[in-house]
Amino acid sequence: MWDLSTSALDTAKLRGATCADVRVMHLRQRDLTTKNGQVGTLAQSESLGLGIRVLANGAWGFASTDRLTREGVMACAAQAVSIAKASALAKRSDVVMAHEDAYIDSWQSPFRKDPFEIPLETQLDRLLAADAAMRIVKGVTLTETGMQFRKIDSWFASSIGSCIHQSKVITGCGIAATSFQGDEIQKRSYPNSFGGQHSLQGYELVESLELLKHAPQIAEEAAALHSAPQCPEKKGTVILGGSQLGLQIHESVGHPIELDRVLGQEANFAGTSFLTLDKLNNLRYASDIVNVVADARLDHGPGLGTFAYDDEGVPAQCTDIIREGQFRGYLSNRETAHVVGLQRSSGTMRTESWNRLPIIRMTNISLLPGTWSFDDLIADTDDAILMETNRSWSIDDRRYQFQFSTEIGWEIKNGKKAGMLKNPSYSGITTEFWNSCDAICKLDHWTLWGTPNCGKGQPMQTMGTGHGASPSRFRNVRIGTAFSKQ
């Protein structure tokens, strides 16, 4: 692979590029699903190709190819330079890149069991057993299970002399039961919606989830939701389960801190951000107990945003985003770091595949654990609704106003879980919501959740991001608006 990269870099330089980086990537994926006791999808894919990004005449060009011959790669590099020169026809200023050192390194994400080596029969048996355990519950009308495995090898080389090979194994797994009765469809998922939990692990993730043990419970909850009372419409206290809070972090912290959005580069599609540059170090984003980091290092955990180097050749870092409630940092790259006074990128450039340009992306954007045990938090709460497992999510294009609904709610009365509520939802304004946080559970309840389906960029790229969170309490929140009949 390094020979191909060298050919591409040499051609780019010869054609007039002043800076270039090349990614050769080999992606392998396996998908298994079942539905109502039958195998649904059973598919495997691989994709191998090369993408090259160049600066020429002060502007960017990118081209990609799956023709991995010397001639194919040289043609691709020449095309990238030609595109960059066309970009320069409509540039306003030259691109300036922050300094970065050159690295020669190789990194393999840790895993215990290679999912591609586990017999398919074993994998399907596990899914079909969970599927059957859900189907025997009366009232369940649809059962779904799934596993997804990926291996991604990338060879990064740049004109400053970096040669970095990274190899990742990613696993996802989950189950869901749906119940249609009367004029309602209710659904429960385990351990999360979006196909379950996803992380930078091997088959050991699947084994740790104990699908068969949890299948009857979620099936029973799906059926029971029909007879549960409707979540009321009011202002009050909400306790969010860890996976729902992970998505709240994703939408109302992770996206607004992307510096490309802040600078208007996503204005036509993903939107902009309320976190204009004047807010850095000047905004009380959240209450004092809230600390959020962007941490791509393995020390943070095996998240979907964990790596050794980003796709611009910058080492993984931990950046303070919110420290004791104050807004402290953005996600940046080599091109934008100087805008916020940084000498160096925060290492967040990521690409979906060899045929996509790296863009600023969330890594693991996590709420650091607090001090509460979950039992103490419930016992300390007089009147609240505990909301678990995301059902719908939406936020405006500057990331102020949001609304989420979850699959299930639980009424908390006088320090105890009182009863199930259906169709729970809550909404609010980002900074008001985060400033109302008054309790965060401790590390024992903290999970690094994986969001596998974050869409951004044109052409669209789907990226996995990580979000560590533990159950937390928020006061004076608007509840039940999604189902308001007004």
If the CB atoms of residues 85 and 442 are measured against other proteins, the closer one turns out to be 85
**Shortest gap between Cβ of 116 and other proteins (angstroms)?**
10
Examine residue 173 and tell whether it contacts other proteins (CB under 8 A): no
Which residues between 129 and 168 bind other proteins (CB under 8 A)?
A: 141-142, 144
CA distance 283 to 326: 6
Q: Give 62 or 446: the residue with its C-beta nearer to other proteins.
A: 62
Task: Give the range of 13-21, 64-72, 160-168, 220-228 binding other proteins by CB under 8 A.
Answer: 64-72
Of the candidate residues 5, 7, 33, 166, the single one contacting other proteins (CB under 8 A): 33
Which of 13, 16, 18, 36 is the binder for other proteins (CB under 8 A)? 36
Interacting residue with other proteins among 108, 230, 281, 392 (CB under 8 A): 392
Under 8 Å between Cβ of 196 and 173: yes
- Among 8, 9, 20, 63, which residue interacts with other proteins (rule: CB under 8 A)? 63
Specify the residue, 316 or 387, whose C-beta has the smaller distance to other proteins: 387
- The CA distance from 353 to 45, in Å, is 13
Q: How far is the CB of 259 from other proteins (least distance, A)?
A: 13
- Segment 247-266, which members bind other proteins (CB under 8 A)? 263-266
Which residues, 294 to 323, sit near other proteins by CB under 8 A?
none
Residue 264 Cβ, how far from other proteins at the closest point, in Å? 5
Which one of 10, 13, 70, 83 is in contact with other proteins (CB under 8 A)? 83
State which of residues 5, 7, 11, 64 lies at the interface with other proteins (CB under 8 A). 64
How buried is 176 (Cβ within 10 angstroms: 0-12 exposed, 13-18 middle, 19+ buried)?
A: buried
Considering only residues 336 to 365 of the shown chain, the ones binding other proteins according to CB under 8 A are: 355-357
> What value does the CA radius of gyration of the chain take, rounded to a whole number of Å?
24
Site residues for other proteins, 182-211, by CB under 8 A, read 183-185
* Amino acid identity for residue 82 in this structure: S
Please give the residues from 403 up to 462 whose contact with other proteins meets the rule CB under 8 A: 403, 405, 423, 425, 427, 429, 458-459
In this complex, which beta carbon is closest to other proteins, that of residue 374 or of residue 400? 400
Rule CB under 8 A: is residue 278 a binding residue for other proteins? no
Strand partners, 268: none
Q: How far is it, in rounded angstroms, from Cα 66 to Cα 138?
A: 51
